[in-house]
Structure 1
Amino acid sequence: MASRRARLFTLCFALIVLFNLIWFHDKLLSWAVQRELFDVSLSLEPDRVHNVEVVVASLSHEDTRWLSIYLPEWKTNIYVADDPNAPLTVPINKGRESMVYLTYIIDHYDQLPNNIIFMHASRFAWHNDDPDYDAIPTLRNLRIPYLQETGYVNLRCVWVIGCPSEIRPVEDEVNKDDTHPMTKDIYKQAFEELLPELPMPAVVAVSCCSQFGVTREAIRHRPKEDYLRFRQWLLDTPLEDGRCGRVFEFAWHIIFGKEGVFCPSAGECYCKVFGICGLNCSDSSCDDRYILPTYSNLPAGWPRIGWSGEARNFTGPLA
Structure 2
Amino acid sequence: MAAAISKVPLLVRPRSRALFALWSAVSLYLFLYHGVPALRYHLFQISSSERPQYDFTEGLFDDTFLTAGISTTAATSDGVTTVALTAPSSPRESRIADALRDRNVTVHVVLATRAQDDVSWATDPGRLRIPGATNLRVIRYVSDAPNAPYRPPVLNKGREALMYLTYLHDFYDDLPDVAILVHAENYAWHAEPALGTSMSTMLSRFDLREVLDNDGDFEIQKKTKGPRTRLRNRVSSREPEINRRDNGLKKIDSGRHGYANLRTSWLHACPDRINTTRTPEESVKQEEPYMRDAFLANFGLGDLFSQQEGQGQQQVEVPEILAGTCCSQFAVSRAAVRSRPRSQYKRSQDFLATTPWSDYIAGRTWEHLWPFLFRGGARDCPVEWKALCRMYGVCFASAAEQARWMDRWREREALREPLEFWQELGHPRVAARARSRMHELGDWLRTGLAAAVRRGEGVEEVGWDSVGDVYEL
| Secondary structure class of the residue paired with 1:52 | strand
RMSD: 3.4
- Residue 90 of structure 2 is aligned to residue 90 of structure 1: no
Match of 1:152 in 2: 259
Displacement after TM superposition at 1:193 (Å): 1.5
Question: Is the contact made by 2:396 and 2:402 (CA closer than 8 Å) also made in structure 1?
Answer: no
- Residue 352 of structure 2 is aligned to residue 234 of structure 1: yes
For 1:85-108, what per-residue CA distance to the aligned partner results, in whole angstroms no more than 9, with x for missing partners? 112211222111001101101110
Question: Is the contact made by 1:160 and 1:284 (CA closer than 8 Å) also made in structure 2?
Answer: no
Match of 2:286 in 1: 182
- Residue 392 of structure 2 is aligned to residue 274 of structure 1: yes
* CA distance in structure 2 between the partners assigned to 1:101 and 1:283 by the alignment: 36
* CA distance in structure 2 between the partners assigned to 1:159 and 1:190 by the alignment: 23
Residue from 96, 119, 122 that aligns with 1:64: 119
| Secondary structure class of the residue paired with 2:375 | coil
- Residue 296 of structure 2 is aligned to residue 192 of structure 1: yes
Question: Is the contact made by 2:206 and 2:391 (CA closer than 8 Å) also made in structure 1?
Answer: yes
Question: Is the contact made by 1:93 and 1:99 (CA closer than 8 Å) also made in structure 2?
Answer: no
Question: Is the contact made by 1:130 and 1:138 (CA closer than 8 Å) also made in structure 2?
Answer: no
Equivalent AA in structure 2 for residue 44 of structure 1: L
* CA distance in structure 1 between the partners assigned to 2:381 and 2:402 by the alignment: 9
Match of 2:310 in 1: none
- Residue 167 of structure 2 is aligned to residue 104 of structure 1: yes
Indicate how the Cα distance of structure 1 residues 148 and 53 shifts in structure 2: closer, same or farther if over 3 A, else same: same
* CA distance in structure 2 between the partners assigned to 1:291 and 1:140 by the alignment: 24
- Residue 288 of structure 2 is aligned to residue 173 of structure 1: no
* CA distance in structure 1 between the partners assigned to 2:176 and 2:183 by the alignment: 19
Indicate how the Cα distance of structure 1 residues 248 and 286 shifts in structure 2: closer, same or farther if over 3 A, else same: farther
Equivalent AA in structure 1 for residue 264 of structure 2: C
Match of 1:15 in 2: none
Displacement after TM superposition at 1:71 (Å): 1.5
- Residue 100 of structure 2 is aligned to residue 44 of structure 1: yes
Indicate how the Cα distance of structure 1 residues 285 and 136 shifts in structure 2: closer, same or farther if over 3 A, else same: farther
| Secondary structure class of the residue paired with 1:232 | helix
Question: Is the contact made by 1:151 and 1:215 (CA closer than 8 Å) also made in structure 2?
Answer: yes
* CA distance in structure 2 between the partners assigned to 1:116 and 1:237 by the alignment: 27
* CA distance in structure 2 between the partners assigned to 1:265 and 1:202 by the alignment: 22
Match of 1:16 in 2: none
Displacement after TM superposition at 1:199 (Å): 2.1
* CA distance in structure 2 between the partners assigned to 1:284 and 1:217 by the alignment: 33
Q: TM-score, normalised by structure 1?
A: 0.73
* CA distance in structure 2 between the partners assigned to 1:115 and 1:295 by the alignment: 39
For 1:220-254, what per-residue CA distance to the aligned partner results, in whole angstroms no more than 9, with x for missing partners? 01101111000000011111111111111000111
Residue from 254, 261, 264 that aligns with 2:372: 254
Displacement after TM superposition at 1:182 (Å): 1.4
- Residue 316 of structure 2 is aligned to residue 210 of structure 1: no
Displacement after TM superposition at 1:176 (Å): 4.5
* CA distance in structure 1 between the partners assigned to 2:114 and 2:288 by the alignment: 27
| Secondary structure class of the residue paired with 2:260 | strand
Equivalent AA in structure 2 for residue 98 of structure 1: A
Percentage identity across paired residues of the two chains: 29
For 1:42-87, what per-residue CA distance to the aligned partner results, in whole angstroms no more than 9, with x for missing partners? 7835746x51110110111111111134115621001111111112
Which structure is higher in RCO with an 8 Å CA cutoff and minimum separation 6?
1
Displacement after TM superposition at 1:286 (Å): 6.8
* CA distance in structure 1 between the partners assigned to 2:435 and 2:397 by the alignment: 28
| Secondary structure class of the residue paired with 1:209 | coil
* CA distance in structure 1 between the partners assigned to 2:151 and 2:273 by the alignment: 31
| Secondary structure class of the residue paired with 2:385 | helix
Q: TM-score, normalised by structure 2?
A: 0.51
Question: Is the contact made by 1:265 and 1:283 (CA closer than 8 Å) also made in structure 2?
Answer: no
* CA distance in structure 2 between the partners assigned to 1:276 and 1:113 by the alignment: 27
For 1:170-208, what per-residue CA distance to the aligned partner results, in whole angstroms no more than 9, with x for missing partners? 1x137447xx98101111111111111652112111121
| Secondary structure class of the residue paired with 1:70 | coil
Unaligned runs of 5+ in 2: 1-93, 130-134, 214-256, 302-315, 421-433, 447-473
* CA distance in structure 2 between the partners assigned to 1:56 and 1:173 by the alignment: 34
Match of 1:126 in 2: 189
Question: Is the contact made by 1:57 and 1:119 (CA closer than 8 Å) also made in structure 2?
Answer: yes
Match of 1:138 in 2: 202
* CA distance in structure 1 between the partners assigned to 2:288 and 2:145 by the alignment: 31
Equivalent AA in structure 1 for residue 100 of structure 2: L
* CA distance in structure 2 between the partners assigned to 1:271 and 1:204 by the alignment: 25
Question: Is the contact made by 1:58 and 1:80 (CA closer than 8 Å) also made in structure 2?
Answer: yes
Residue from 134, 137, 141 that aligns with 1:75: 137
| Equivalences, count | 267
Residue from 334, 337, 343 that aligns with 1:219: 337
* CA distance in structure 2 between the partners assigned to 1:41 and 1:138 by the alignment: 17
Match of 2:50 in 1: none
Question: Is the contact made by 1:266 and 1:282 (CA closer than 8 Å) also made in structure 2?
Answer: no
* CA distance in structure 2 between the partners assigned to 1:295 and 1:224 by the alignment: 48
Equivalent AA in structure 1 for residue 323 of structure 2: A
